[in-house]
Amino acid sequence: MKATSDIYQEGNASMVKKRSNLYRKEKIYGFLFILPPVIGFLLFTLYPALYSVYGSFTDWNGLGQMNFIGLDNYKTLFTDNFFYTSMYNTFFLMIGIPIGLLLSLLLALGLNRKIPGTTAFRVIYYVPVISSLAAISILWQWAYNGDYGLVNQFLGLFGIKGPNWLANTATVKPAIILMTIWKGLGFSMLLYLAALQSVSRTYYEAAELDGASGFSMFRHITWPMVKPVTFFLVVTNIIGGSQIFTEINIMTPTGGPEYSSATVVFYIWQKAFENLQMGYASAMAVILGLFIFIVTLIQFKMNERSSFDMD
Amino acid sequence: MFGKKSWLIVLASVMMLSLVLAGCGGKGSSDPNQLTFMFRGGPDELKAYTAVVKQFEQDNPGIKVKAIQTNPDQYAAKLQAAITGNSVPDVFFYNPADLKAYTNNNILLDITKYIENKPDVDLKNMWPQGVDMYRYDGTEVGKGALYGLPKDLGPFALGYNKTMFEKAGIPLPDKDKPYTWDEFIKVNQQLTKDTDGDGKLDQFGTGLNAEWTLQPFVWSNGADWLDKTHTKVTIDDPKFIEALQFFVDMQNKYKITPAIEQAQTLDTYQRWMRGELAFFPVAPWDLSTFKRELKFDYDVIPFPAGSTGKPSSWVGSLGIGVSNKTANPELAAKLVTYLSASPSGQKSLVEAGVQIPNLQDMAKKWAADSSNPPANKEEYLQIVNDYGRPLPGQYTYNAEWYALFFTDLQPVLDGKIAVADFLKQEQPKMQAMLDQAVAAENKAKESKKSK
């Protein structure tokens, strides 16, 4: 994107006419190359998005005609306790994000050393990432099973009687958080590992000569150097975390005991596909979209303020 | 990033696309010799239905049926997507709870003229309780035009482990005289024990999941979730309180089930399969699996009877409907009748062990055939004919109010909230949702009339 726009800015009106055939041809080819993703975006993202914005102002039930009802859906939304509950649950589940990032950084630091078997460990941590989310959710559903589950069998070895994890309001959220951390660990770890390996040895050597301790080297060299990766992971994890659905739908198909594991997207799905309230569900989706947009924007602004260049 | 012009281009393309998309909604198959058929089921059911569809193609040379199948969990969303995308399959399974919404929004075709008084359909031989679930006159379900036929009826009965009874020397339950609640508790207590002497219980009376087995207790105690007009939630009725209290007590007071920490459907199903439970619900779609997997003898009986003295249970169903936009209404209706009402279609489905026959004469033969367990298959016919009812959510425009009850129920089952308090708090919440559903229904009806 950047490169092409630079070319446009070079030319002013008088120059455009003088441009060669070759240039024009290249321009057409350029457009052709970017056309497929642009069409994909228009068809599968922008069009449905605009359609659901329109739908959010109607009483559409997903089956019949749409009647315009103005802001009614949005008004209902702000008095809907289930919406608040599902929002709260969604935020609660995001507790796993900082924990997951910390763990994956520690793992990456560990696996970055020259110890035997690192390749095997990298594979072990990466396997969950490439596995199907639905399959993983079913596996964990069984692992958390109160009776025969692996988790409780393991606890039983130490004489601890585990709860029925997914049927208990106090344990269902931690149980899901644990699973999402496990699932995301490998991906974050891999990115951190790549970032760590691109840090030049010279910084550490210089710091060592100055007599810096291991911790201050981490604080003043490693941490700032991997910061772009941390930023990327925080942003993508929050976007992903706001939309968590598959795990919830498979592990707790009714939204958990007292709706304690239902997330926003789960609630949207229920309204749209089970309760014939597509318009209302669209309104929620619009609010969620705006929310994600704003949070991401704030993150970018904050990152700009605290970023630095090393030249 | 974009100039004004680029935005215009984007907008124009979006508008073009919406026109294109609006125009390209498929309407089932347009080929006069082809049908699309969307259905769902467990592995055994999918296999059985695929075979019957093949059979239909053989019996009707030149006709092709394009089958679209999914597992039960994904079906509702997939059908909704097909409807929203304006590409409803010619023939499809649907939940009878959606009958009103689908007819008000012109999704289902009225197939009365292809079914009634046709020589190849013996409507009188079919269970009226099943057929009537798919009649709708615009205000009430149960009468008027036919918007489909039942795929099957799913009566829910109580099974018991015969081998366990015989080992314990306890007289077998009487299939014609249901237990009273007291008797039920006593038998269960006798059968809940530690059989290997390790100090831990390993054999239990039962383990019932509230969502699927609370209804027989509530109904046979003379209570219900809804009043007769289907507009008022009646769970604060003292008889309802009594029934739910009994249900909770089975676990917390009489301790005839695996403890709270252990009990969930999945587990109790596994325990039943391993022969650790004396009683467990058994539906017709379980029979093929149980025949293969169970290592003990079992039979079915009515659920225990509450204060009315009569047992109760629910009858589930799934409909087969025709799209209102199908290009081949007659052929589509023919497939529906083949699956639901023809002796040859029914025969293969029943032989696959996935359902009870839709045809009464065939059902009687099926019940009398003692070569397949359970011996008392007759109970299923009695549930259909005599004392079974549809689930409450089926009467209303959507079942959100009913689902809420079970979402909030867990702390009551765990004994953390008193039954009476819960029902009192829950009634207004459910009523509010039901009011919304009623309002949505009225609105849909009006908009249909005004067309």
Q: Which residues of B touch A46 (CB under 8 A)?
A: 10, 14
H helices within B66-173, ranges in order? 72-84, 99-104, 112-115, 128-131, 162-168
User: A147, B400: Cβ pair inside 8 Å?
Assistant: no
Using the Cβ of A218 and the Cβ atoms of chain B, whether some distance falls under 8 Å is answered with no
Direct distance between the N- and C-terminal alpha carbons of chain A, in angstroms, rounded to an integer? 25
From B401's Cα to the closest Cα of chain A, the distance in A is 10
3-state secondary structure labels for all residues of B386-444: HHEECCHHHHCCCCHHHHHHHHCCHHHHCCCCCHHHHHHHHHHHHHHHHHHHHHHHHHH
Q: Which residues of A touch B271 (CB under 8 A)?
A: 147
Question: What is the per-residue pLDDT for A2?
Answer: 45
Using the Cβ of B25 and the Cβ atoms of chain A, whether some distance falls under 8 Å is answered with no
Chain A window 69-98: which residues touch B at a Cβ cutoff of 8 Å? none
User: B400, A275: Cβ pair inside 8 Å?
Assistant: yes
Q: How confident is the model at residue A212 (pLDDT cuts 50, 70, 90)?
A: confident
Using the Cβ of A170 and the Cβ atoms of chain B, whether some distance falls under 8 Å is answered with no
Least confident of A122-136, B16-30, B306-320, B373-387: B16-30
A271, A130 Cβ separation under 8 angstroms = no
Question: What is the per-residue pLDDT for B371?
Answer: 83
Nearest chain A residue to B15 by CA distance is A47
Instruction: Please write the tens of the pLDDT for every residue from B183-230.
Output: 999 999 999 988 888 777 888 999 888 889 999 999 999 999 999 999
**Which residue has better confidence, B85 or A193?**
A193
In single-letter form, the type of residue at position B250 comes to M
3-class DSSP assignment, residue B210: helix
Using the Cβ of B263 and the Cβ atoms of chain A, whether some distance falls under 8 Å is answered with yes
Peptide bond into B374 cis (omega under 30): yes
From B439's Cα to the closest Cα of chain A, the distance in A is 12
Is it the case that residue B14 has pLDDT exceeding 80?
no
Question: What is the per-residue pLDDT for B26?
Answer: 42
Using the Cβ of A276 and the Cβ atoms of chain B, whether some distance falls under 8 Å is answered with yes
Residue A292: is it exposed, middle or buried by C-beta count within 10 angstroms (0-12/13-18/19+)? middle
Q: Which residues of B touch A50 (CB under 8 A)?
A: 14
B175, B301 Cβ separation under 8 angstroms = yes
B99, B147 Cβ separation under 8 angstroms = yes
B39, B67 Cβ separation under 8 angstroms = yes
Q: How far is CA A224 from the centre of its chain?
A: 22
Indicate the average pLDDT of chain A.
87
Cα gap A303→B90, rounded to integer Å = 54
3-class DSSP assignment, residue B255: coil
A272, A281 Cβ separation under 8 angstroms = yes
B342, B46 Cβ separation under 8 angstroms = no
| Complex ipTM value | 0.72
Using the Cβ of A4 and the Cβ atoms of chain B, whether some distance falls under 8 Å is answered with no
Nearest-Å Rg of the Cα atoms of chain B is 24
Instruction: Please write the tens of the pLDDT for every residue from A142-163.
Output: 898 877 788 888 888 888 888 8
Q: Which residues of A touch B13 (CB under 8 A)?
A: 42
Question: What is the per-residue pLDDT for B25?
Answer: 40
Cα gap B351→B430, rounded to integer Å = 42
Question: What is the per-residue pLDDT for B16?
Answer: 54
Q: How confident is the model at residue B12 (pLDDT cuts 50, 70, 90)?
A: low
Using the Cβ of B73 and the Cβ atoms of chain A, whether some distance falls under 8 Å is answered with yes
A170, A162 Cβ separation under 8 angstroms = no
Which pTM was predicted?
0.79
DSSP strand pairing (B34-40 vs B91-94): parallel
Cα gap B94→B38, rounded to integer Å = 10
User: B258, A64: Cβ pair inside 8 Å?
Assistant: no
Cα gap B321→A113, rounded to integer Å = 64
Question: What is the per-residue pLDDT for A5?
Answer: 46
B411, B337 Cβ separation under 8 angstroms = no
Using the Cβ of B13 and the Cβ atoms of chain A, whether some distance falls under 8 Å is answered with yes
Nearest chain B residue to A45 by CA distance is B14
Cα gap A278→B83, rounded to integer Å = 12
DSSP strand pairing (B157-161 vs B279-282): antiparallel
Q: Which residue has the tokens 């970017």?
A: A34
Closest partner residue to B17 among A43, A272, A277, by Cβ? A43
Q: How far is CA A56 from CA A75, A244, B447, in A?
A: 11, 21, 19
Using the Cβ of A240 and the Cβ atoms of chain B, whether some distance falls under 8 Å is answered with no
Cα gap B98→B108, rounded to integer Å = 10
User: B17, A47: Cβ pair inside 8 Å?
Assistant: yes
Strand order in the sheet with B298-301: B279-282, B157-161, B298-301
In single-letter form, the type of residue at position B448 comes to K
Is it the case that residue A16 has pLDDT exceeding 60?
no
B94, B280 Cβ separation under 8 angstroms = no
Residue B269: is it exposed, middle or buried by C-beta count within 10 angstroms (0-12/13-18/19+)? middle
Using the Cβ of B261 and the Cβ atoms of chain A, whether some distance falls under 8 Å is answered with yes
Nearest chain A residue to B393 by CA distance is A275
Is it the case that residue B11 has pLDDT exceeding 60?
no
From B83's Cα to the closest Cα of chain A, the distance in A is 6
Q: How far is CA B131 from CA A27, A175, B91, B266, B367, in A?
A: 66, 45, 17, 32, 20
Question: How many CB atoms are located within 10 Å of the residue A301 CB?
Answer: 9
Is it the case that residue B259 has pLDDT exceeding 50?
yes
Tokens of B450: 């005004």
Residue among B352, B368, B392 at smallest CA distance from B152: B352
B256, B188 Cβ separation under 8 angstroms = yes
CB environment B77-109: b (16+ within 10 A), e (fewer): ebbbebbbeebbbbbbbbbbbbbbbbbbbebbb
**Which residue has better confidence, B149 or B72?**
B149
Question: What is the per-residue pLDDT for A304?
Answer: 81
**DSSP states of B329-396:** HHHHHHHHHHHHH-HHHHHHHHHTTSS--SBHHHHHHHHH-TTSS-TTTHHHHHIIIIIEE--GGGGS
3-class DSSP assignment, residue A47: helix
From A88's Cα to the closest Cα of chain B, the distance in A is 17
Question: What is the per-residue pLDDT for B2?
Answer: 44
Q: Which residues of A touch B73 (CB under 8 A)?
A: 253
From B88's Cα to the closest Cα of chain A, the distance in A is 11
Nearest chain B residue to A267 by CA distance is B400
User: B14, A50: Cβ pair inside 8 Å?
Assistant: yes
Instruction: Please write the tens of the pLDDT for every residue from B174-194.
Output: 999 999 999 999 999 999 988
H helices within B107-208, ranges in order? 112-115, 128-131, 162-168, 181-191
Question: What is the per-residue pLDDT for B411?
Answer: 86
Consecutive H or E run containing B157? strand B157-161
Question: What is the per-residue pLDDT for A229?
Answer: 93
Question: CB neighbours of B41 closer than 8 A, spacing ≥ 6?
Answer: B48, B49, B69, B71, B72, B354
Is it the case that residue B22 has pLDDT exceeding 50?
no
Using the Cβ of B439 and the Cβ atoms of chain A, whether some distance falls under 8 Å is answered with no
Closest partner residue to A275 among B17, B398, B444, by Cβ? B398
Looking at residue B172, the DSSP 8-state letter turns out to be: P
Indicate the average pLDDT of chain B.
87
Q: Which residues of B touch A163 (CB under 8 A)?
A: 261
- A-interface mutation test, from B262, B394, B425, most A Cβ less than 10 A away: B262
Question: How many CB atoms are located within 10 Å of the residue A36 CB?
Answer: 9
Question: What is the per-residue pLDDT for B5?
Answer: 60
Question: What is the per-residue pLDDT for B363?
Answer: 93
Using the Cβ of A64 and the Cβ atoms of chain B, whether some distance falls under 8 Å is answered with yes
Cα gap A264→A266, rounded to integer Å = 5
Q: How confident is the model at residue A18 (pLDDT cuts 50, 70, 90)?
A: low
Is it the case that residue B9 has pLDDT exceeding 60?
no
User: A253, B73: Cβ pair inside 8 Å?
Assistant: yes
Q: For B151-164, what is the mean pLDDT?
A: 94
Question: What is the per-residue pLDDT for B415?
Answer: 87
- Taking every pair of Cα atoms in chain A, the longest distance, rounded to a whole number of angstroms, is 84
Is it the case that residue A17 has pLDDT exceeding 50?
yes
Instruction: Please write the tens of the pLDDT for every residue from B107-118.
Output: 999 999 999 888
Cα gap B312→B388, rounded to integer Å = 6
Question: What is the per-residue pLDDT for A308?
Answer: 61
Question: What is the per-residue pLDDT for A254?
Answer: 84
